[in-house]
């Protein structure tokens, strides 16, 4: 490539808007129907576990605390999820959805990739049991 044509391209580039954007300082809006982080609504959940059976990546797990009172804790592994939304499609009670505003999921540690959904006392009970090395079982009634 001749030097003259390169200099012409260099001079032209001074007057053009750059193609790249200054992400993350300048953020663009996420497109509609973007498949971001999975969100679970426990009030609608019946505990049928169809979402778990249909998940090809085994990224979600429903831990039953009390089936009669519909108390469940969902463990969602972001690092396993393929964001295919098969769990959302198979849920008959519409308690799962893919968030279109929670899509920036990069992290430097592994801890944020395991998300628990449910009542705070149930989640706390499960995490304490896991710290002691005990198997997961039903939470005692408070």
User: How many Cβ atoms sit within 10 Å of the Cβ of residue 117?
Assistant: 21
How many Å apart are CA 40 and CA 70, to the nearest integer?
14
pTM of the model as a whole: 0.69
How many Å apart are CA 129 and CA 120, to the nearest integer?
14
The predicted-structure confidence for 110-124, as pLDDT tens digits, reads as follows 777 888 998 888 888
How many Å apart are CA 142 and CA 137, to the nearest integer?
15
47, 66, 134 from 141: Cα distances, Å? 19, 9, 18
Maximum separation of any 2 CA atoms in the chain, in Å: 81
The predicted-structure confidence for 17-46, as pLDDT tens digits, reads as follows 888 878 778 877 778 888 888 999 988 898
- Tell me which CATH code domain 34-132 carries: 3.30.70.3270
């Amino acid at each position: 490539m001749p030097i003259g044509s390169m200099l012409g391209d260099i001079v032209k580039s001074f007057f053009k808007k750059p193609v790249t954007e200054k992400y993350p300082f300048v953020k663009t809006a996420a497109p509609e129907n973007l498949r971001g982080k999975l969100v679970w609504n426990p009030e609608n959940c019946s505990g049928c576990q169809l979402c778990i059976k249909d998940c090809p990546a085994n990224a979600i797990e429903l831990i039953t605390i009390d089936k009669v009172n519909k108390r469940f804790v969902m463990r969602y592994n972001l690092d396993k999820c393929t964001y295919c939304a098969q769990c959302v499609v198979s849920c008959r009670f519409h308690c799962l959805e893919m968030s279109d505003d929670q899509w920036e999921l990069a992290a430097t540690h592994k801890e944020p990739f395991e998300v628990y959904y449910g009542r705070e006392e149930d989640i706390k009970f499960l995490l304490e049991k896991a710290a002691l090395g005990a198997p997961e079982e039903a939470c005692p009634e408070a």
